[in-house]
């Protein structure tokens, strides 16, 4: 089916990335679950119970795109890998089985952590059960039919295990001889998941991918080069994986990717501007929407937006979720104005109004990428979301 360009679709202006602070009782229940004091079914009952309030918050504030706040997850990336046949989740994998150039590895080691939960492929990957459909169905039950197209499902990046472990420790080489075999089955599983979500009425999907921002990091690039890793080839490979997943999507399905710089309880992992990856990211990656973090100087300048082609959309993450300090609405408006100028002067040049139409705003990341949440209060979270909505109204009307 032909892909309709985003320029021909109504563009939401006030977004948020996905996760929201969990209520205290849900945090306590999840801790109880992990300590064996309640069952998964009991946990799920409470997750579904708190969902109406999560949706009400978003409606009351007025954000254009609504999520379930990721209340059904421990961590943002949870979901599809755990559900695949052939993938085993290992509670503790030593960092010797992770790629040492990943920006978060030295941070965790400095904290005294020497391993982390991750997956390992021990058999042929196959999707025999859904991963995110329960999240979507329970969310859909909370809104009117006309609001369903504004619901968004966030999803783990398909490249995460491969970026974390490399070919050596991602899959058993008696199962898959090479990356192409591994990714062929993984791409099929992701396509099936998206097809099922679409059949249920889902029209917005967002991949949350820290790895794309890791390629902006001088420290990671230098470490990869020292180890003889071809980082350009690796980035191209991962873009190709995404493009195989999103190929031939329905015209009314909006798929985006959030480039996360790290958001674990307010900690960031990656630094470096988008210049290194912007052209490949914005021009070669077959996405409708790019959620770009721009809340601090760590993200560099807005100049890489000159590569944004017509028909694609950027959501500028100008409001931080890492602290409660409230940004200036005038500063947000000025940055959007400057971003639109840069897009307008890109290739091909376009009218300022058309460039502005390709932009939206949001907080830079979720408020609770892990279930314990960022160091921010529920009231501060509400103020941040309200700021995004008010700024969007003043900019776009």
pLDDT digits 0-9 by tens, 74-85: 999 999 999 999
Per DSSP, 208 falls in state E
Check whether 396 has a pLDDT greater than 90. yes
Return phi, psi of residue 118, to 5°: -160, 175
Q: How confident is the model at residue 11 (pLDDT cuts 50, 70, 90)?
A: confident
- Model confidence at 2, pLDDT cuts 50, 70, 90, reads very low
The residue behind tokens 């015209």 is 251
Q: Alpha-carbon dihedral of residues 76, 77, 79, 81, nearest 10 degrees? A: -170
Give the structural domain span for 256: 6-77+137-172+199-396
| CB distance 125 to 175 below 8 Å | no
* Tally of CB atoms within 10 A around 12: 20
324 located within any domain: yes
362 Cβ partners below 8 Å, 6+ apart?
Answer: 14, 15, 16, 17, 291, 315, 316, 317, 318, 319, 388
- pTM over 0.85, yes/no: yes
- Provide φ and ψ at 98, rounded to 5°: -110, 155
Mean pLDDT, range 294-303, rounded to an integer = 89
Domain membership flag for residue 192 = no
Residue 258 placed within a domain:
yes
Q: The CATH number of the domain where 339 resides is what?
A: 3.20.20.210
**How many distinct structural domains can be found in the chain?**
1
Tell me the per-residue pLDDT of 167-217, one tens digit each, with 9 for 90 and over: 999 999 999 999 999 999 999 999 999 999 999 999 999 999 989 988 999
In a domain, 374, yes or no: yes
pLDDT of 299 over the 90 cut: no
Strands 204-208 and 289-293: unpaired
pLDDT score of 224: 92
In a domain, 119, yes or no: no
Token representation of residue 149: 């197209």
Q: How confident is the model at residue 7 (pLDDT cuts 50, 70, 90)?
A: very low
Residue 28 lies inside a defined structural domain of this protein:
yes
How, if at all, do strands 359-363 and 153-155 pair?
unpaired
Token pair, residue 101, equals: 């150039």
Question: How do beta strands 115-126 and 359-363 pair?
Answer: unpaired
305 and 343 Cβ atoms separated by less than 8 Å? yes
- Stated as kind and residue range, the H or E segment containing 291 is strand 289-293
Q: Is residue 52 part of a domain?
A: yes
What is the Cα–Cα distance from 368 to 28, expressed in whole angstroms? Answer: 15
Whether the predicted pLDDT of 10 surpasses 80: no
Task: Assess contact for 340 and 352: CB atoms under 8 A.
Answer: yes
Span between the terminal Cα atoms of the chain, in Å: 33
Averaged pLDDT score across all residues of the chain: 93
> Would residue 36 count as lying in a domain?
yes
Region 334-362: mean pLDDT is 97
Structure tokens at 273: 């501007």
């Amino acid at each position: 089916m032909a892909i309709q360009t985003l320029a021909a679709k109504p563009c939401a202006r006030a977004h948020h990335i996905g996760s929201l602070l969990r209520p205290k009782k849900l945090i306590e229940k999840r801790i109880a679950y992990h300590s064996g004091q309640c069952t998964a079914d009991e946990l799920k009952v409470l997750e579904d119970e708190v969902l109406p309030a999560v949706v009400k918050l978003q409606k009351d504030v007025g954000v254009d795109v609504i999520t379930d706040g990721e209340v059904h997850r421990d961590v943002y990336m949870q979901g599809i890998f755990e559900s695949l046949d052939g993938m085993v989740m290992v509670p503790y994998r030593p960092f010797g089985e992770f790629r040492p150039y990943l920006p978060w590895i030295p941070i965790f080691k400095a904290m005294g952590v020497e391993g982390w939960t991750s997956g390992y492929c021990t058999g042929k990957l196959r999707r025999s059960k859904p991963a995110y459909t329960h999240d979507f169905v329970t969310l859909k039950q909370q809104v009117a039919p006309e609001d369903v197209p504004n619901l968004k499902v966030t999803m783990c990046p398909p490249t995460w295990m491969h970026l974390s472990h490399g070919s050596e420790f991602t899959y058993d080489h008696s199962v898959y001889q090479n990356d192409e075999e591994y990714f062929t089955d993984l791409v099929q599983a992701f396509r099936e998941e998206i097809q099922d979500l679409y059949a249920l009425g889902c029209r917005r999907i967002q991949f949350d991918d820290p790895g794309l921002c890791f390629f902006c990091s001088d420290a990671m690039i230098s470490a990869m080069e020292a180890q003889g890793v071809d980082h350009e080839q690796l980035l191209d490979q991962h873009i190709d994986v995404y493009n195989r997943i999103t190929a031939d999507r329905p015209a009314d399905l909006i798929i985006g990717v959030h480039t996360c710089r790290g958001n674990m309880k307010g900690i960031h992992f990656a630094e470096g501007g988008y210049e290194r990856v912007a052209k490949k990211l914005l021009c070669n990656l077959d996405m409708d929407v790019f959620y770009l973090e721009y809340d601090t100087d760590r993200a560099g300048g807005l100049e890489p937006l000159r590569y944004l082609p017509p028909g694609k959309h950027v959501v500028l993450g100008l409001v931080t979720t890492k602290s409660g300090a409230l940004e200036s609405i005038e500063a947000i408006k000025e940055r959007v104005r400057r971003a639109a100028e840069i897009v307008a002067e890109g290739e091909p040049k376009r009218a300022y109004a058309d460039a502005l139409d390709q932009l939206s705003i949001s907080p830079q990341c979720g408020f609770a990428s892990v279930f314990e949440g960022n160091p921010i209060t529920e009231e501060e979270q509400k103020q941040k979301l309200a700021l995004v909505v008010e700024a969007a109204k003043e900019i776009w009307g």
